[in-house]
Amino acid sequence: MLQRLKNRKDVPLEEQVRAVQHGDEDARHHLLSSYQPFIATSVSKVCKRYIDPERDDEFSVGFMAFNEAIDSYSEEKGSSFLTFARLVITRKVIDYIRKESVDVTTVSLDQSDDEEEQTNAADWRLSQVSKDAFEEEQVAWYRQMEIEEYNRKLEEYKLSFSELVSVSPKHQDAKESAKEVARFVYENKEFREYVLTKKRLPIKKIEPHVNVSKKTIERNRKYILAVFVLLVEDFTYLKEYVQGVNE
């Protein structure tokens, strides 16, 4: 299998991932070796600096995350493997950075010679306010990374995150109807694959299956596609941010 994967560049990446999931460890080794530049680039975007695979611990975290992504990836969600892997890497590296930041602060404070200062520092670390602030900051990081990835995916459909407000239906009932259409397309395998391939809605084919007119679907086409992409990709925090998508 490894020899075949190395010599046949036309073998889809998702097919290589499936081979690993079915027990082909040679294929796993091939992927982990071949995609180290992708891992380094993904980690670098999170750290905002050059990442040295030989020296930086963050690369090791990203490497393990990529390996985890290979095992947990599912084509049923509709997203590409690299999109999924990039998100897994991002989340793991952010977790690592946050944990390291807390550990460094703790060590620094514990080395203080002033006992009262140590006590106050411990109280600060244990306070619920600080805990909540940390968690909110962490979620904000996740959400920002997902927005960046979401925007990249929207560009494939000639859309952008910044224009979502302008393309969103003004009335709540129209917005809910558009979401229903997006969910229908996402849940229907034939239509889902069509949109993922063509990057557009098969409006004429959709109309008979939904309680929305062709004219309304066309008018809300961009918003429907935007919601569809949100459903397809593994944007956990962004789905929570964009209220009502899963309702």
| pLDDT of res. 129 | 43
Same domain, 142 and 102: no
> Is 118 a member of any domain?
no
pLDDT per residue as tens digits for the range 72-127: 998 877 778 888 898 899 889 988 887 776 554 444 445 545 545 544 544 444 44
| pLDDT of res. 165 | 81
Same domain, 107 and 134: no
> Is 53 a member of any domain?
yes
Same domain, 102 and 15: yes
Same domain, 176 and 79: no
Same domain, 145 and 232: yes
The stretch 60-76 carries a mean pLDDT of 92
| pLDDT of res. 68 | 95
More confident residue, 136 or 59: 59
Give the range of the structural domain holding residue 78, as residue numbers without chain letter. Answer: 2-113
The stretch 127-153 carries a mean pLDDT of 67
In this structure, of 21-30, 59-68, 161-170, the range with the lowest mean pLDDT score is 161-170
| pLDDT of res. 60 | 94
Q: Among residues 55, 84, 113, which one ends one of the domains?
A: 113
Q: How many domains, the chain?
A: 2
Cα→Cα distances 193→36, 65, 112, 186, Å: 30, 27, 60, 9
228: Cβ contacts below 8 Å, ≥ 6 apart: 182, 185, 186, 195
pLDDT per residue as tens digits for the range 177-197: 999 999 999 999 999 999 999
In this structure, of 101-110, 148-157, 192-201, 228-237, the range with the lowest mean pLDDT score is 101-110
Query: CA-CA distance, 201 to 190, in Å (whole number)?
Result: 12
